[in-house]
Amino acid sequence: MNSYKKYFNGLVQGLVILGFGLNMIGCSKDGGSGADAEVQTTVEVPSTTQDPNTATYKNPHRCDKIGKNCYKETFEQPVTNTSAVDVLFVVQTSNSLVPERQAIVAGIDEFIQTLPANSDFNIAVMLSHGSTSAYSGKLFQAASEPIVLKSSQMTNAQIQSYLDMKLAQVATDPDSGGGEEGLFSLFNGITTPALLAASQAQDFFRPQAALAVVFVSDRRDICAIVPAGVPAETDPVKIDARIRDCEGLTAAGLTNRLHVLKGSLPVQVSAITYVDSPAPAGNEIGYGHTDMVALNAGVAIDIANDDIASGLASIAELSGQQMEVQYEFTLKYANVDPNKLIVTVNGQQVPYTLDGNTVTITSEIPAGAVVVIAYCVKKIKKDDCDHSHHHKCKDKKNDCDRCHHHKHKHKWWDSHGKKGHCKPKSHNK
């Protein structure tokens, strides 16, 4: 059980992430001059469109390289401030996932502790069942415990106890490989009017609440579109389920539906699954769920290698960051040159203070604003990593950050804006 306690700790760090990955994306090379360039006096402000298919909306914090040792970091502020968060665990129900479900329960306290003190969060569980199951798209109740676990009414210990009950007594779905249709179940739950109304009657999918979804699986989703070269499904039960439930259902389409449901409120999707290839024998990379993570700037926690509790905390942290307008910004690189620093809000320069590599804006920031911080760093020695901050060094081989604040967090955008997986590097050569 101790080995799974560390898994859960990773998930908690992941849940805090509903705040949306403000420290997950590395600076990219977007055509900088390569010379000792001065920071531009006019800083480009990206579009603030809320189209869920745009990279700007998917990734509220972006870092671009604009010259040698010079960077531009873009932070989008939430359009609507809220202290309410709905956290939905969408779990596969096969017996092989029992230890991972227990690990989530073990780490939920760390997740709760990482959320902002004023958070009003509700937690629910949905089973990854297909259309032939009565559980598909419904919030799960294992016995007599509350369907929705509410921080406004329960202690952390009570939430942990009830969540343990839900995850330990799941029903299986023989028509979907034991319960491997998380994408369909979630789609069903938010698009079928009766199911959505039933959830909202239980104070879930609240109109005023941000939404954090956490998929838990040890296999790819039956409805996943797998990459070229990945063997096709051969299990006849799963093939039948795919034909029955998956036509037209994609991760991009489900992402769009989630944003239609929540409007201007934050949506973040993470996953506890197998991320690093190859997956252990008898398991699979969590395709479908990892696609949802990539589209929603979430956290992917590898259940074979990562700390679930720390991942849960990351998810919670990210969620909290997105709930309120941010005034303090920790830049990805230290040794900031104060003479080459420009801070703008919606394209207009604003007053600020600089402490190390932390910028604090001292004027009012409106909801929905775009904050752009352009800066250069003073020359530092090669491989001089300051581990007290996020992402200080670059791995020149694959252009991935080598220094991590949460070393087990998986990033899902490489430095060229492509989806991918940057494996954590050692802090030592």
Strand intervals (E) in 230-312? 267-273, 300-302
Which of helix, strand or coil describes residue 396? coil
Same domain, 133 and 149: yes
Which range of residues forms the domain containing residue 240? 84-323
pLDDT at 323: 57
Q: Are 92 and 179 within 8 A, CB to CB? A: yes
Same domain, 71 and 91: no
Among 323, 346, 366, the domain boundary falls at 323
Residues 312, 337, single domain; the answer is: no
Q: Is the peptide bond before 52 cis (omega within 30 degrees of 0)?
A: no
One domain for residues 66 and 144: no
165 burial (CB, 10 Å; 0-12 / 13-18 / 19+) is middle
Domain annotation covers residue 113: yes
CATH of the domain at 316: 3.40.50.410
Residues 184, 281, single domain; the answer is: yes
Identify whether 121 is part of a domain. Answer: yes
Over its length of 429 residues, how does the chain's per-residue pLDDT go in tens digits? Answer: 433 333 334 333 333 333 333 333 345 444 333 333 344 433 333 322 233 333 323 334 678 899 999 999 998 876 655 678 899 999 999 877 777 777 887 877 787 787 777 788 999 999 999 999 999 999 999 999 999 999 999 988 899 889 888 988 899 999 999 999 999 999 999 999 999 999 999 999 999 888 999 999 999 999 999 999 999 999 999 999 999 999 999 999 999 999 999 987 888 899 999 998 888 888 899 999 999 999 987 888 898 887 788 888 877 776 665 556 788 998 989 999 999 999 999 999 999 999 999 999 999 988 778 999 999 999 765 554 444 333 333 343 344 443 333 434 444 433 333 444 444 444 443
Whole-angstrom CA distances from 184 to 22, 152, 231, 380, 418 are 29, 30, 21, 50, 26
The dihedral through the CA atoms of 427, 314, 271, 157 has a sign that is positive
* Whether residues 44 and 190 fall in one domain: no
**Is the residue at 96 inside a domain?**
yes
Q: Indicate if 255 and 135 belong to the same structural domain.
A: yes
Q: How many domains, the chain?
A: 2
Let me know whether 305 and 167 are in one domain.
yes
Cβ partners under 8 Å of residue 248, min gap 6: none
Is residue 42, in this structure, part of any structural domain at all? yes
Residue whose entry in the numeric block shows the structure tokens 């990562």: 306
Considering the domain architecture, whether residues 255 and 115 belong to the same structural domain is answered as yes
In a domain, 9, yes or no: no
Of the residues 323, 355, 381, which one is the last residue of a structural domain?
323
Give yes or no: residues 53 and 163 share one domain: no
pLDDT of residue 264: 77
Task: Please check whether residue 15 lies inside any domain of the structure.
Answer: no
DSSP code, position 372: E
Q: Which residue has the tokens 């491997």?
A: 180
Which residues does 331 contact at the CB level (< 8 Å), separation at least 6?
71, 73, 357, 358, 359, 373, 375
Domain match, 271 and 396 both:
no
Within a domain: residue 185? yes
- CA-to-CA distance for 245 and 300, rounded, in angstroms? 25
226 inside domain: yes
Residues 273 and 144 in one domain: yes
* pTM tops 0.75: no
